[in-house]
Amino acid sequence: PISVKCETLANLSFRWFHGYVTSEEANSRLESKPYGSYLVRLSTTSPGKPYTLSILTSRTHIDHRRISY
């Protein structure tokens, strides 16, 4: 399990925050959305960088980037 800071729980109320979601699930959630759509999720593979931005960069590609803060 990934240790998540308490302020993460506050993010759960934002529409763009999807919690623990794999990259495959993020792809599924974004594939039918308009170009430029995105979501922020908790990384399931990088405990040192707990957030990942998944963004639909074209009609056929979704980019996943770790967020450092």
- How far apart, in whole angstroms, are the C-alpha atoms of residue 26 and residue 14? 16
pLDDT digits (tens, 9 = 90+) for 24-66: 999 999 999 999 999 999 888 877 778 999 999 988 899 999 9
pTM of the model: 0.77
CA 9 distance to own-chain centroid: 15
- Give the pLDDT band of residue 67 (cuts 50, 70, 90): confident
- How far apart, in whole angstroms, are the C-alpha atoms of residue 67 and residue 60? 23
- Cβ 60 vs Cβ 12: under 8 Å: no
